[in-house]
Amino acid sequence: MKTADLISTSDFCLFHNVEINFVEMLQEADLIKITIINKNAFIPTTELQKLEKLINLYQLGINVEGLEAISHLLDRFEKTQEDLRHLRNKLSLYEDD
């Protein structure tokens, strides 16, 4: 992974006004991935959207356990949406318009 695809955890936390230990808790809960380079923690840019969603939910008063549950349900929902899209595409092959 290129370092251009990484954002310093400390910079991210400073910008979003969150504690570094919160991001570490999310990583320990396996909700996000963090990359360590030379003893410094970095967040891959692919994780930013998910991390920002989790921060917004956390700021609404949802604890890490609740974030785990919500994340799991959202993942299942997205998978179901993907399956539905796939089935609709498959069905359209057999329909006469």
What does each of the 97 residues of the chain score in pLDDT, given as a tens digit? 566 789 999 999 999 999 999 999 999 999 999 999 999 999 999 999 999 999 999 999 999 999 999 999 999 999 999 999 999 999 988 886 5
pLDDT in tens, 31-45: 999 999 999 999 999
Gap between the Cα atoms of 8 and 95, Å rounded: 51
Strands 6-8 and 35-37 come out as unpaired
pTM over 0.85: no
Q: What pLDDT shows up at residue 50?
A: 93
Gap between the Cα atoms of 30 and 93, Å rounded: 39
For the chain, what are the domain ranges?
Answer: 3-94
Residue 42 has φ and ψ, to the nearest 5°, of -130, 150
Count of CB atoms situated within 10 Å of the CB of 34: 17
CATH number for the domain running over 3-94 = 1.10.1660.10
